[in-house]
Amino acid sequence: MEGSGVGGSESGSMSTVSWEDNMVVSSEDSSCPDESDLELGLGLSLGGKTGGFKMHQLSKGGQFSRILTAKDFPSVISAASPSSSSSSSSSSLSRANVTAGTKRTADSVAAANGSSQVVGWPPIRAYRMNSMVNQEKNMATEGFNSTMVNHKSETSMVEKTTAGIGKYQNNGNIKLRKSLFVKVNMDGIPIGRKVDLNAHESYEKLAKTLEDMFLKTTSSVNPAGSMTLELGVMKKITRPSKLLDGSSDFVLTYEDKEGDWMLVGDVPWEMFLSSVKRLRIMRTSEATGLAPQLQERNQRQRSKHN
Amino acid sequence: MESSELKRSKDSVNSCESARRSSFPDEVLERVLSLLKSHRDRSSVSLVCKDWYNAERWSRTHVFIGNCYSVSPEIVARRFPRIRSVTLKGKPRFSDFNLVPENWGADIHAWLVVFAAEYPFLEELRLKRMAISDESLEFLAVSFPNFKALSLLSCDGFSTNGLAAIATHCKNLTELDIQENGIDDIGGSWLSCFPESFTTLEVLNFANLTSDINFDALEKLVGRCKSMRVLKLNRSVSLEQLQRLLVNAPQLAELGTGLFSQELTIREYEELESALSNCKNMHTLSGLWDATGIYLPALYLACTHLTFLNLSYAALQSVELAKLLAHCPQLKRLWVLDTVEDKGLEAVGLNCPLLEELRVFPADPFDDEIVHGVTEAGFVAVSFGCPRLHYVLYFCRQMTNAAVATIVQNCPDFTHFRLCIMNPGQPDYLTNEPMDEAFGAVVRTCTKLQRLSVSGLLTDLTFEYIGRYAKNLETLSVAFAGRSDWGMQCVLGGCPKLRKLEIRDCPFGNAALLSGLEKYESMRSLWMSACNVTMNGCRLLAREMPWLNVEVMKEDGSDDSQADKVYVYRSIAGPRRDAPPSVLTL
């Protein structure tokens, strides 16, 4: 394509630049677009907690990490353990280019999240990230326990498909449930999980899910917080959960909106949902601050059984 | 026309010149060449002889410009007098990830001014990563009476007011395609600007926008545009409204729904299901924001002939996806979020034997503290079930060399292989070795590979493999990889068809940069950021290669001698005059 263009001066200069294939520009229409369509989804799993996402941003104080260069990745050059690279989120400010714009939001949100932050990495378009952020806000403002009031009197879908839908009969209409994902960590296990609290209707069911997740060795458990209604009615619990009755080495605790750690099970379920931020399966020996409630509960239960 | 025929013609250049008057009148030649659509063929044709060059330039109606700074609008207009459709791309791709300064350039206005003078009958404009203001959109709307199609992808600088101008003035508009732009969404009133008499719209995509539009206006618009085949709504359109639109537009071939989540009664659900299934021509489905398991079944009947399903805004779980895919046997392209996990991808492998393209986006890319997303297992599962897979974009947190080797063994026809292991510099998590062998397997096995994005812990060996084996590679993206200049030198010394090379955060320096001197003239562009290149190296490059524009973007507080971000591209228009102060042209 280059070089030997016969003809006038125009063709001579033209030949060094090739007029390339007619590539469709749109990202969706063509299966082989010339450019990337990398996009970002952010934090659906942060759930619909009002202000949960925003609190993250505030607490990080809007700091942005500096751009990490090859120099920051000795692991890349020396093939040593690469784990250092992921934790090197620097707090010093050296933002390359200023001013917020829709595209910049991607990095500010990323930085706010607190995990390893490199500008423009992973390579996901700011557009997708922003649309996910908007989704978060929509879910948050509507509240995660929204009872949608509906006055329609026609037959509901629920009655048609009771087997699948389960317990959501309400004014003859489907009550759409938003998910409420919270993190769950267990002492001694470095990697946590997430569970959809709105997919459970009681402490018993939640504890059962968590036991399946953390206390069983096989991996044949439900995906964390699977919220598909087709899974239907929760199986009947035949025995009280170990996590709740204090008979195991672990207790289930949660952090509430004020930052206090509380024992799970003391307040009504709905109230719990409105104040829980995250869960922790704590070693009983460590639950000293909560011990009084724990002992009280144990005494209550023992006296029940007597 | 086959390229081989053209090459034979090239040999007989002299006889062409002398025989032309008797054998081939210009008008006939032009007529024949006007049937040529491929730009590569047209380039070849223009090199045969002067007559063919002229016939080609007079018969060309569409021009594609991959880098708006490689040529000037005046040069384009001088060479091609009869253009009716223009495709222009501007900023370097890394601008999508905030690596390019805001006011970098790629403004369309200068082009529009020339076009208004030279191409008053311009019909189509497709822009990617260009800066476009509302004033430019207004100018466009009033300057071209025949204007038909506007497509904006990943552009910025405009607002919905600009769209209002287009809707108001473009009487012959057939296509308005607004995708993934940095648009200032002031409100939805622009849609009401289409006049009542306006009926020609065939493509309407406003999924990009978030504000509410006047549904009444939309319903009437869709109702009177009987040729509409592509309709992509934004989130503000509800399920109930969707049903009403579909009832009047069963001819739609591509549908982007609005919010796929709303309380419906049984009858409303059935009406929706019926309206969807009545779209017998539907082959593309997208949107589906907030889709949950309850309403996905409404789509089942509509999915029978679906070839492209974009679920990348619907955080589905594996079971939901599996059930949906059971109804999509014809699927060729699938985009999903990694909430479907490996189990969901297993379902892809089981249900979609015709699949050619898969993109898996991360729903929560910044949260490392929990177990989620997809792993190598999901990718492997898809490869077993979908032997025709040739385009993949895969975001994951772990990968192994063995898995990739298996994948390309199952699917040797990859043309686009974009693997993003999200933790920079992460090795094979089972063997703790670099991921060199994975990409070695890719380039060795996939001889048709055109585009490659690498990730994970990589030594220079990866680049040795790429340089040696990737004979058809045109685009290469590299981040946090390599050990020394040698890596980049291997790529520049091999890869005969390389056109775009983008590198960030790699230990490549001046020696590597300067090893590609001749190569850069056959490439569209080179991007290097956060590497070890210095200003002196860039100056040397600029001095040696007059046909290259060498631009350096400096960051605040960096060393004077460091070239933080370098963008090199060939150009016949010379250095650009609209660069902002932060961009130095050497």
Tens-digit pLDDT profile for residues A235-274: 333 445 566 666 677 888 899 888 888 888 888 888 888 8
- Are residues A99 and B71 in contact, defined by beta-carbon separation less than 8 angstroms? no
pLDDT tens for B339-348 read: 999 999 999 9
Please check the confidence at residue B31 and state whether its pLDDT lies above 80. yes
Token code pair at residue B245 = 């639109």
Nearest CA in chain A to B319: A228
Instruction: State residue A70's pLDDT score.
Output: 39
Cα–Cα distance between B96 and A120 in angstroms, integer? Answer: 8
pLDDT in tens, B508-563: 999 999 999 989 999 999 999 999 999 999 999 999 999 999 999 988 777 888 99
Q: Please answer whether residues A103 and B104 qualify as being in contact, where contact means their C-beta atoms are separated by less than 8 angstroms.
A: no
User: Measuring CA to CA, which residue among B237, B203, B197 is closest to residue B220?
Assistant: B197
Q: For residue B540, which phi and psi values (nearest 5 degrees)?
A: -60, -45
pLDDT for residue B188 is more than 80: yes
Amino acid at A28: E
- Which of A79-88, B3-12, B318-327 has the highest mean predicted lDDT (pLDDT)? B318-327
Residue A143 CB neighbour total at 10 angstroms: 13
> In the predicted model, what is the mean pLDDT of chain B?
92
**CB-based contact, B50 to chain A, within 8 Å:** yes
Please give the average per-residue pLDDT across B90-98, as a whole number: 94
> Among A143-152, A280-289, B366-375, which stretch is predicted with the lowest mean pLDDT?
A143-152
Q: Does B64 touch chain A (CB under 8 A)?
A: yes
Q: What is the DSSP string of B365-407?
A: TT--SB--S--HHHHHHHHHH-TT--EEEEEES---HHHHHHH
Q: How many CB atoms are located within 10 Å of the residue B223 CB? A: 15
Average of per-residue pLDDT across A121-140: 71
Global pTM reads 0.73
Least confident of A25-39, A180-194, B294-308: A25-39
pLDDT of residue B65: 96
- How much is the pLDDT for A75? 39
pLDDT over threshold 60, residue A62: no
pLDDT greater than 90 at residue A165: no
* Contacts B477 to A, Cβ<8 Å: 36, 123
Partner B contacted by A125 (CB < 8 A): yes
pLDDT at A129: 78
Q: Is the per-residue pLDDT at A305 higher than 60? A: no
Tell me the per-residue pLDDT of B564-576, one tens digit each, with 9 for 90 and over: 999 999 999 999 9
Q: Is the model's pLDDT at A56 over the cut of 80?
A: no
- Whether B482 has a pLDDT exceeding 80, the answer reads yes
Q: Does B333 touch chain A (CB under 8 A)?
A: yes
Per-residue pLDDT tens over the stretch A71-113: 444 433 333 333 333 333 333 333 333 333 344 444 554 444 4
Across A153-166, average pLDDT: 35
CB contact under 8 A, B363 and A132: yes
pLDDT score, position A299: 56
Question: Using CB atoms and an 8 Å cut-off, which of residues 133-192 of chain B contact chain A?
Answer: 151, 153-154, 156, 177, 179-184
Check A192 against B371: CB less than 8 A apart: yes
Between these two residues, A208 and B400, which has the higher pLDDT value? B400
User: Of chain B residues 490-529, which have a CB less than 8 A from chain A?
Assistant: 504-507, 521-522, 524
Mutate: best of A158, A228, A279, partner B, most B CBs <10 A: A228
H or E element in which residue A130 lies:
helix A126-142
The alpha-carbon radius of gyration of chain A (Å, integer) is 27
Least CB-CB distance to B530: which of A70, A125, A173?
A: A70
Spatial distance between the Cα atoms of B523 and B491, rounded to a whole number of angstroms: 13
Q: How far is CA B447 from CA A112, A148, B468, B474, B501, in A?
A: 42, 56, 12, 12, 19
- pLDDT tens figures, B95-127: 999 899 888 999 999 999 999 999 999 999 999
CA A214/CA B146 separation, integer angstroms: 65
Please, are residues A251 and A282 in contact by the beta-carbon 8 Å criterion? yes
| Mean pLDDT computed over B283-290 | 94
Give per-residue pLDDT as tens, B430-449.
999 999 999 999 999 999 99
Separation between Cα atoms, residue B327 and residue B304, nearest integer Å = 6
Report chain A's mean pLDDT, rounded to a whole number. Answer: 54
pLDDT in tens, B223-280: 999 999 999 999 999 999 999 999 999 999 999 999 998 888 899 999 999 999 999 9
Cβ–Cβ pairs < 8 A, chains A and B: 361
Mutate to test the interface with A, among B125, B154, B211, B284 (most CBs of A within 10 A): B154
Q: Is A149 on the interface with B (CB under 8 A)?
A: no
Interface predicted TM-score (ipTM): 0.87
Res. A135 pLDDT band, cuts 50 70 90? low
Report pLDDT for B200. Answer: 96
